[in-house]
Amino acid sequence: MSDTTNLRIPGPTSLPQSVREAGSRQMVNHRGPEFKALLGRVTAGLQRGFRTTDDVLILTASGTGALEACIVNFLSPGDPVLAVSIGEFGERFAAIARAFGADVTKLDVEPGRAAEPTAVAEALQAMATAGRAPRAVLLTHNETSTGVTNPLASIAAAVHETAPDALLIVDGISGLGALPFETDGWGLDVVATGSQKSWMVPPGLAMVSVSERAWAASETATMPRYYFDLRAARTSADKGETPWTPAVGICFALDAALEAIEAEGYEAIFARHAAVGAATRAGLAAMGFELFADPAHASDTVTSVRMPPGADWTAFSRELRSRGLVVAGAQGRLAGSVFRIGHLGDVQVDDILRALETIEAGSLALGIPVTRGVAVEAARAAAAAAGRQLVGSGAV
């Protein structure tokens, strides 16, 4: 793959040059002073990104490893858990809880839609009435498989009101750092993210925040754990170390990325993602593609699009790739019928305009009927309007 490839998948995301250079530094002793300073700096930067004063621990794993850590540290076999699933990653969170013996109740939301806070509250009440008051609620912030962002602040508020003793455990992997997020402000007990998403860092690190009441729960939780034991991670972090050898190179990269992120500023980053999200949706819709997600909850980090009738995903993907654009297929039940465009991390509106041009040309080459010559202008206008809206709303 050439360096000019337009990598439009929802992670791994493209790496800025400064991140690539930092990641290629020579190794250091992971139990020495340089790494200790690095770990302290990176942890503080993540706390600012998570908007939390809770502990944030860095694990050497993919995001799925962090989801496992979110389960096994805080629950015991048999614990009732409500898993709110709006797509494949919600399914995965529930599957991990089941694999370790939790008594999982699923709240399934139709793919493409967000969870309703009232539906979550009703599910919690029903569990309590049945004598199975949930020990934890598993939520996805941004569902990468469908391109839907849950109204997490409202859902969290509903959980706190209906089931105040339940831990709020959040998969923040593909939204945190790109979309407004308030770990402390929304009262989230455990939040996970992954290096290869908005953080613009290669995959291999996962980060988890843990609230005081989650730590208290970890003391009595009996699910088996070793590699993902967050208490071991906390003990080591207090000494400026990790319990097991960390992915040192990716930590170097994360340090550089956090520097770039803070130089841009989170408010500017959120506005940029709002603009690229709006541009992607407007451009595709103008061409005639059908967007998969409910417009009210469409994600600003990833857009899911229905494959046009009769069009073949494999041929479509190959055609776009030959033109320098890499998009993602769908997973699970949506495989073949949906494709996805990632727009998170190191992405500008121009990257989206280029992607739209390629999709237009590639579609026409394959005989997929799309409206010509309108996508870029529609995208530009939507990006500009998104910027105005954000400014107008006082969000930036």
Binding range to a copy of itself, per CB under 8 A, among 113-121, 244-252, 273-281, 372-380: 244-252
Q: Which is nearer to a copy of itself, 96 or 368 (CB)?
A: 96
Compute CA distances 137 → 65, 146, 226, whole Å.
18, 21, 23
| Residue 87 near residue 143 (C-beta atoms within 8 A) | yes
How is residue 296 annotated by DSSP?
A: G
How many amino acids of this chain bind a copy of itself (CB under 8 A)? 61
Q: How far apart are CA 28 and CA 34, in angstroms?
A: 7
Q: Amino acid letter at 76?
A: S
Q: Is 329 in the site for a copy of itself (CB under 8 A)?
A: yes
Extract the tokens encoding 130. 């049945």
| Residue 155 near residue 306 (C-beta atoms within 8 A) | no
Binding range to a copy of itself, per CB under 8 A, among 43-51, 104-112, 278-286, 320-328: 320-328
Extract the tokens encoding 273. 């993602």
Q: Is 240 in the site for a copy of itself (CB under 8 A)?
A: no
Tally the residues of the chain: 396
Shortest Cβ 153–a copy of itself spacing (Å): 27
Helices (H) and strands (E) in the chain, counts: 13, 13
**DSSP characters for 53-97?**
SSEEEEEES-HHHHHHHHHHTT--TT-EEEEEESSHHHHHHHHHH
Shortest Cβ 380–a copy of itself spacing (Å): 26
Shortest Cβ 97–a copy of itself spacing (Å): 9
Q: Which is nearer to a copy of itself, 51 or 225 (CB)?
A: 225
Q: Which is nearer to a copy of itself, 49 or 63 (CB)?
A: 63
Shortest Cβ 343–a copy of itself spacing (Å): 15
Give the x-and-dash track for 251-290 against a copy of itself (CB under 8 A): --x-------------------------------------
Q: Is 13 in the site for a copy of itself (CB under 8 A)?
A: yes
Q: Which is nearer to a copy of itself, 139 or 223 (CB)?
A: 223
Of positions 56, 57, 61, 137, contacts a copy of itself by CB under 8 A: 61
Q: Which is nearer to a copy of itself, 14 or 162 (CB)?
A: 14
Q: Is 337 in the site for a copy of itself (CB under 8 A)?
A: no
Q: How far apart are CA 55 and CA 66, in angstroms?
A: 14
Q: Is 228 in the site for a copy of itself (CB under 8 A)?
A: yes
Site residues (CB under 8 A) for a copy of itself, limited to 15-54: 15, 20-21, 23-34
Q: In terms of DSSP bridges, do strands 103-108 and 80-85 run parallel, antiparallel, or are they unpaired?
A: parallel
Q: Amino acid letter at 263?
A: A
Alpha-carbon 151 to chain mean position: 14
Of positions 6, 49, 56, 65, contacts a copy of itself by CB under 8 A: 65
Site residues (CB under 8 A) for a copy of itself, limited to 178-217: 194, 196, 202-204
Of positions 39, 45, 52, 63, contacts a copy of itself by CB under 8 A: 63
| Residue 105 near residue 142 (C-beta atoms within 8 A) | no
Q: How far apart are CA 29 and CA 62, in angstroms?
A: 23
Q: In terms of DSSP bridges, do strands 136-140 and 80-85 run parallel, antiparallel, or are they unpaired?
A: parallel
Give the x-and-dash track for 88-117 against a copy of itself (CB under 8 A): -------xx--xxx----------------
Of positions 64, 76, 154, 348, contacts a copy of itself by CB under 8 A: 64
Lateral strand order in the sheet of 167-171: 55-60, 205-210, 190-194, 167-171, 136-140, 80-85, 103-108
| Residue 328 near residue 342 (C-beta atoms within 8 A) | yes
Binding site for a copy of itself (CB under 8 A): 1, 3, 5, 7, 9, 11-15, 20-21, 23-34, 60-65, 67-68, 95-96, 99-101, 194, 196, 202-204, 223-228, 243-250, 253, 321, 326, 328-329
